[in-house]
Structure 1
Amino acid sequence: MSHPTHDTDLTDDTEVSNVVAFPLPSTEQTDADEVEDSGALVEITEANEVEVLDGEIVDEDEAPNAGVPAVLAGTARRELLPIIPAWLADRDQFQATVRWAWTYCHHTARYHAVRVPLYTLKLTAASPRGMGRAVMTWQRWAFDTESRALRQSTIDAADPSAYLALSRQRDDHVRTRLRVSAVTAFLSALGLGVVWLMYPEAMQTVLMWTVVVSIIAFGLLGRREDKPIVKTAVLGQQASKLTPDVVVRAFVGAGLCKEDTPVTFAQPIQRDGRGWLAVVDLPYGKHAAQAVGKRESLASGLNVNPITVFIDPDQVSARRVRLWVSDVDVFAQKPVTSPLAGMEEFDFWQPIPFGLDARDRKVTLPLIWSSLLVGAIPRMGKTFSARIPTAAAALDPYVELFVFNGKGDGAWRAFEKVAVAYGAGVRDQVMELLVTTLRKMVADMNDRFERMAKLPVDVCPEAKLTPAMARNKRLNMPLTVLSIDEVQRYLEHPEYGAEVLALLTDLVKVGPAAGYMLILATQKPDGKVIPDSLRGQIGSRFAMKVMTWQASDTILGAGSYQAGMDASKLSRSHKGVGILLGSDDSELAEQGGQITRTHLLSSADVEVMCDRGRALRSALGLLKGMAAGEAPTVETTGSVLDDVANALTAVAGNAAGAHTEVVLARLAEMRPEFYDGWTGSTLAGALKAYGVEPTQVWGTTPEGEKKNRQGYKRDAVVAAQSARIDHAR
């Protein structure tokens, strides 16, 4: 099919259709016989003529980007800039911008006003030098001294005609300029004379202003480059302006671009809250993670404190970053009281107000389908941070709350009013209560999954708990929040620590789907104390000040340091500040690591909130457990290790061990409220913490046959019991 030329006449009978232009191969590729491109087979002949061998006429309505001009077709894939700038559209940002402008102008005016006498002395002292420079400049101009070198060159070249021409030109210039100077002087003197004759009373004022203007003019002309008359009014970071030159200098200094290939700006630098926002495009091949890792180098190039520099990736492009430079140390400001303190009730299914980011934007923490790990060195606000989501759970009457405080102080005592179970310290009775609680939780979790599997799809979609299910008393599947502060003290317990680890790990792995959320806080973010089997399953992390980047990686997850997230760089003076990161599929994970200043919830606020939560639960008949005055049921029969030892004694007799299914059946008979629903993997996880691993055991199956299967040997269990006793001593 041949193509018509552009000058082909189209009559009224000609059928007109839109032709979709296929990208044509370069004419340099003459050695290619055939190229298949965009569904059309294109043949390149020796004369570089292109012939479409196969094509299709596309109707106007079906054509890609039909009706869209070609110049706008690519714009649909680009980010549309806001019509009204953010600092005008947002009331808070507008007020912040006005405050900054007022601060800048007010400070500058006051700074220079008090230095007017000093500036006068400097200008007066420099005016004689300036007058001399003015006279010399006038002399060079009036007598055309600049052309002297040119005339000398004609003498050296022995060119008399050129010399005579230049001499006549110079004489003309001198005569004209001297006349202009004389006329100017005469008119100036005449003007002064007229003023003196007609307005003698104003002559003194005119002379005074003449002297003032002369001093200023000659003073500025006579100033020295190394000693400016007027210095800048802003030497610090506050109220200083961020300019493109400064930003480019910073990125060049950080090695993120070169002077011949600098960064570009997606939009003009503008005020944003209490700082400046620059949307920067890195050179091709560079990516945002590299800029995030160069935060301190960029701060050096900007000549500011690193704590005021924040770099966030932009979703539009992998090479685009949003550079925000604060006027002040935002994290040194007075903390903001949590909005939870003023709420009468809270829906725990909604994201929890957690704090503010550097730009004073609200940061929320969604905990549904997730759990939270908080880590920090002592006295950095770890307990205050962990109490925020726990207090949110207290304000939801449909949430069953369990609280354990490993430190044993009174920081969590207010939650006794609403908690189904509450324990403080690591005394034996508290440990037994915690272990009993965890066992019941694991058994209930397994029971929930079994019951949810039998529910209709419209009642239990996606095999997860829903708000309607959680609030249905008949189903008895309420949201359950377990909050443990100083969890390392329970995990290090010589007798129960291993079982606590196994049970917590089981809850964290699959519990969220059944409505179990955990909030764990520790001042010992150690991989040995909180192993990856537990830590790696927690979806949300909040790392406050730690001592090393390795400790930061332990909390936030491996690879966080390489991604530019290092909690060891946080300042000790910034209480309640940390890096909030989501590592699961929640909304928080999509936002990446955020440096967050948590809201403040004082002990008095928590006390009031727990009173409200208690009243809500009492009104709905949902006050349970220790909060309702019920004595906790505590099992003192020992740990999982002891139960397995007893089960092996009962079922194995004199044999070396028993199969896993046989041990599980015996455990379920001994304590069905705890072990009913346990699987082989659940038991293996619980015993692994004691160093007991399943192995091949020759024994009798439940069907009475002798076979070699996975099981546990009596000697290994007894040895683990002895090792635990020796460790306790």
Structure 2
Amino acid sequence: MSHPTPNPDDRSDDTEVSNVVAFPIPTTEQPDEVEESGALVELDHGDEVEVLDGEIVGDDEGPRPTLPAELAGPARRELLPIIPAWLADRDQFEATVRWAWTYCHHTARYHAVRVPLYTLKLTAASPRGLGRAVMAWQRWAFDTESRALRQSTIDAADPSAYLALSRQRDDHVRTRLRVSAVTAFLSALGLGVVWLMYPEAMQTVLLWTVVVSIVAFGLLGRREDKPIVRAAVLGQQASKLTPDVVVRAFVGAGLCKEDNPVTFAQPIQREGRGWLAVVDLPYGKHAAQAVGKRESLASGLNVNPITVFIDADPVSARRVRLWVSDVDVFAQKPVTSPLAGMDEFDFWQPIPFGLDARDRKVMLPLIWSSLLVGAIPRMGKTFSARIPTAAAALDPYVELFVFNGKGDGAWRAFEKVAVAYGAGVRDQVMELLVTTLRRMVADMNDRFERMAKLPVDVCPEAKLTPAMARNKRLNMPLTVLSIDEVQRYLEHPEYGAEVLALLTDLVKVGPAAGYMLILATQKPDGKVIPDSLRGQIGSRFAMKVMTWQASDTILGAGSYQAGMDASKLSRAHKGVGILLGSDDSELAEQGGQIVRTHLLSSADVEVMCDRGRALRSALGLLKGMAAGETPTVETTGSVLDDVASALTAVAGNAAGAHTEVVLARLAEMRPEFYDGWTGSTLAGALKAYGVEPTQVWGTTPEGEKKNRQGYKRDAVIAAQSARIDRGE
């Protein structure tokens, strides 16, 4: 059977030419015919096939043609709910009834108050309307619309056509004048009869005649720029979202055309405090394009962009869910976090973080992930970062470490439960932070070594489990490190590079060993927080920033093109940001969503830390500074000084030593700090001093002479001298 080649000229602009001949897209009438059992369907090459339940049937052998998806049977069809969601769900039903009452009540009151004004407007416009009515009757009665046609026959010097048109016009005029005269006579006769037979009702009839005349002539005489009746709009609260408005918005946004509009997967309905429209884009368009057109859609809907929310529907790549709120949902009073009322919390469970635009709870899972929070000052960054930190405080099996780069009292309550706590960037705090990070990296590597030796039933998937984390004998508790204003530590001239290297090492592989980081910054700069660290953080929360580049820095490259731009958030919306999961967590599956975080006041945090301290004390799990212990802090020099000492010890007068040799010597010098360090950790710590690894001729641990990556002694000594000259 030969198939004709499709003609490219017959296709629309949105259709691609292919060398494979497809079935024609059916018209809207075809599916109803195909659904009938045994219906005959004619294909584009002229053959007819019998369709039964969406399948081609027949006795012939050999390959059968395949029906397109549009003609497929029930297996390809989406099952719609039998009872609409707004009717099946009690909350949705109540929301719908409330909206209907608000709309009807407001509309009735609005127009009732303005009846006198409408009367004056109609009366003032009625003379103009009467004049327009007279002129319209004159044009109709004397057939003035045919004047141009008769003139054209005169210009063409066609007397026969002119005479025919003139006779036709005369017939029309006579007939229409007679109709007008009869109508006027009958109307006058009717009024006369009423006056003679029902004289007492004449006054009422005349009154209604005047009223109807004023209304009719007033409406006819109204001006386009001065409507008699305006819509009874109560902000957006009573504005109904209609299909015409939705189609207009998508056409205006360039997501469809007037001759190929969007279609509706279900009727527009109320959902929460807004309207929900589930829309299918034209074939070839996808949901990501619609998400990126949020502001254009808001313009087409004639609403504020902050009230428009659009996201992809997993049913189809071209299906989107458009939700338009009645009010600015993010300007509402913040909701107190449910954590404030909890006696205890299991950190293995997702953390209640806030509410989305539809007032649905947003849960933040931090197991196997870390969190980066970024915003300009006074947008609620510290409050947001304290939520997961407070959740960790309520879990007695979590070891908590807190550092506040700003140095204020916003985090002071966590001293009651934190193994280590530091505020500011004084030398003692920097040394405590570096000491803490070194020990964490060493412990992380030790955990992996020990987990590798455990049976599979104890440590499945080579990850920490709740049972392992709560087993005191294994000593592998969940460990949460929360650092506010982390940029102040990363910019430190002496320890900044080492802090960056250690944090990067923890973020890369630490979650599997039970290490979770919460980092907050008001300086989302790619230089301050490079991608080596930022790119490894699984969850991001971006509140108001100044530029889309800063938004991309927090949320990740490409988020702006995907329609996520924290610079578009309003300064008035404290604690509101875009939450995005960039790893393989459940949060990542949901995509970027605007979230209004829960509120945890300083008083709430104080009470929660008291509960956390009591829980730890009861279980004998209070440790470190919270238990009154004085932290052991290493104050003898920096990594640069240690590397210089190590090179002197292992290389002597030689040019340098291999990286593994330097690491082995560092571990001997201070095992509590350098155990578990890798070449990348050391390279990151020395980078700030201008010392880079290079090829070095030296002796390997096996006693062989080889060229390998290492460090030259002269470069390290020169970096030490430069640091002294700078007064560091």
Shorter-chain TM-score tier: 0.7 to 0.9
Structure 1 stretch displaced more, 425-434 or 172-181: 172-181
1:89-147 deviation per Cα after TM superposition (whole angstroms, max 9, x unaligned): 33333333333323322222222222111111122233445456667777888999999
Give the secondary-structure state (helix, strand or coil) at the position aligned to 1:728. coil
1:611-660 deviation per Cα after TM superposition (whole angstroms, max 9, x unaligned): 11112212222111111111112121232222222222222222222233
Shift, 1:149, TM fit: 11
Q: Distance in 2 between matches of 1:362 and 1:242?
A: 25
Shift, 1:391, TM fit: 0.9
- Change in Cα spacing, 1:112 to 1:526, as seen in structure 2 (3 Å) is same
Structure 1 stretch displaced more, 476-485 or 588-597: 588-597
Shift, 1:605, TM fit: 1.3
Give the secondary-structure state (helix, strand or coil) at the position aligned to 2:400. strand
Give the secondary-structure state (helix, strand or coil) at the position aligned to 1:133. helix
- Change in Cα spacing, 1:342 to 1:12, as seen in structure 2 (3 Å) is closer
Q: How does 1:172-183 map to 2 (within 5 A)?
A: none
Contact 2:381 / 2:520 at 8 angstroms: preserved in 1?
yes
- Change in Cα spacing, 1:35 to 1:643, as seen in structure 2 (3 Å) is farther
- Change in Cα spacing, 1:725 to 1:258, as seen in structure 2 (3 Å) is farther
Contact 2:404 / 2:483 at 8 angstroms: preserved in 1?
yes
Q: Distance in 1 between matches of 2:312 and 2:167?
A: 69
Structure 1 stretch displaced more, 139-148 or 531-540: 139-148
Q: How does 1:445-456 map to 2 (within 5 A)?
A: 445-456=444-455
1:444-479 deviation per Cα after TM superposition (whole angstroms, max 9, x unaligned): 111111111111111110000011111111111111
1:241-268 deviation per Cα after TM superposition (whole angstroms, max 9, x unaligned): 2222222222222222223322222222
Q: Distance in 2 between matches of 1:13 and 1:402?
A: 57
Give the secondary-structure state (helix, strand or coil) at the position aligned to 1:35. helix
Structure 1 stretch displaced more, 130-139 or 484-493: 130-139
1:567-593 deviation per Cα after TM superposition (whole angstroms, max 9, x unaligned): 112222221111111111111111111
Contact 2:50 / 2:56 at 8 angstroms: preserved in 1?
no
Structure 1 stretch displaced more, 533-542 or 92-101: 92-101
- Change in Cα spacing, 1:336 to 1:151, as seen in structure 2 (3 Å) is same
Q: Distance in 1 between matches of 2:692 and 2:105?
A: 73
Q: Give the TM-score normalised by the residue count of structure 2.
A: 0.83
Structure 1 stretch displaced more, 410-419 or 234-243: 234-243
Structure 1 stretch displaced more, 190-199 or 391-400: 190-199
Asked if 1:583 is matched to 2:585, the reply is no
Contact 1:371 / 1:508 at 8 angstroms: preserved in 2?
yes
Q: Distance in 2 between matches of 1:248 and 1:41?
A: 35
Ranges in structure 2 where 5+ consecutive residues have no aligned partner: none
Give the secondary-structure state (helix, strand or coil) at the position aligned to 2:421. strand
Q: Give the TM-score normalised by the residue count of structure 1.
A: 0.83
Shift, 1:724, TM fit: 3.5
Contact 1:265 / 1:279 at 8 angstroms: preserved in 2?
yes
- Change in Cα spacing, 1:499 to 1:64, as seen in structure 2 (3 Å) is farther
- Change in Cα spacing, 1:315 to 1:135, as seen in structure 2 (3 Å) is same
Aligned to 2:188: 189
- Change in Cα spacing, 1:122 to 1:76, as seen in structure 2 (3 Å) is same
Q: Distance in 1 between matches of 2:724 and 2:683?
A: 21
Q: Distance in 1 between matches of 2:34 and 2:78?
A: 34
Q: Distance in 2 between matches of 1:16 and 1:634?
A: 71
Q: Distance in 2 between matches of 1:712 and 1:183?
A: 113
Shift, 1:428, TM fit: 0.8
How many residue pairs align between the two structures?
726
- Change in Cα spacing, 1:326 to 1:17, as seen in structure 2 (3 Å) is closer
Structure 1 stretch displaced more, 127-136 or 455-464: 127-136
Ranges in structure 1 where 5+ consecutive residues have no aligned partner: none
Q: Distance in 1 between matches of 2:651 and 2:236?
A: 76
Q: Distance in 2 between matches of 1:160 and 1:342?
A: 97
Q: Distance in 2 between matches of 1:301 and 1:587?
A: 33
1:378-421 deviation per Cα after TM superposition (whole angstroms, max 9, x unaligned): 11111111111111111111111100000000111111111111
- Change in Cα spacing, 1:534 to 1:123, as seen in structure 2 (3 Å) is same
Contact 1:495 / 1:728 at 8 angstroms: preserved in 2?
no
Q: How does 1:221-370 map to 2 (within 5 A)?
A: 221-234=220-233, 236-370=235-369
- Change in Cα spacing, 1:63 to 1:110, as seen in structure 2 (3 Å) is farther
Q: Distance in 2 between matches of 1:215 and 1:35?
A: 56
Aligned to 1:483: 482
Q: Distance in 2 between matches of 1:179 and 1:17?
A: 66
Shift, 1:510, TM fit: 0.3
Shift, 1:273, TM fit: 2.1
Contact 1:18 / 1:59 at 8 angstroms: preserved in 2?
no
Contact 1:60 / 1:66 at 8 angstroms: preserved in 2?
no
Contact 1:366 / 1:588 at 8 angstroms: preserved in 2?
yes
- Change in Cα spacing, 1:431 to 1:63, as seen in structure 2 (3 Å) is farther
Identity over aligned pairs, percent: 94
- Change in Cα spacing, 1:725 to 1:486, as seen in structure 2 (3 Å) is farther
Give the secondary-structure state (helix, strand or coil) at the position aligned to 2:540. strand
Contact 1:398 / 1:622 at 8 angstroms: preserved in 2?
yes
Give the secondary-structure state (helix, strand or coil) at the position aligned to 1:474. coil
- Change in Cα spacing, 1:723 to 1:293, as seen in structure 2 (3 Å) is farther
- Change in Cα spacing, 1:64 to 1:120, as seen in structure 2 (3 Å) is farther
1:146-188 deviation per Cα after TM superposition (whole angstroms, max 9, x unaligned): 9999999999999999999999999999999999989988988
Contact 2:55 / 2:72 at 8 angstroms: preserved in 1?
no
Contact 1:307 / 1:329 at 8 angstroms: preserved in 2?
yes
Contact 1:376 / 1:543 at 8 angstroms: preserved in 2?
yes
Give the secondary-structure state (helix, strand or coil) at the position aligned to 1:34. helix
Give the secondary-structure state (helix, strand or coil) at the position aligned to 1:692. coil
Let me know the Cα RMSD of the aligned residues: 8.5
1:23-58 deviation per Cα after TM superposition (whole angstroms, max 9, x unaligned): 9999999xxx99999999999999999999999999
1:698-718 deviation per Cα after TM superposition (whole angstroms, max 9, x unaligned): 333444454443332222222
Give the secondary-structure state (helix, strand or coil) at the position aligned to 1:51. strand
Shift, 1:355, TM fit: 1.3
Give the secondary-structure state (helix, strand or coil) at the position aligned to 2:53. coil
- Change in Cα spacing, 1:662 to 1:541, as seen in structure 2 (3 Å) is same
- Change in Cα spacing, 1:577 to 1:722, as seen in structure 2 (3 Å) is farther
Q: Distance in 2 between matches of 1:55 and 1:487?
A: 61
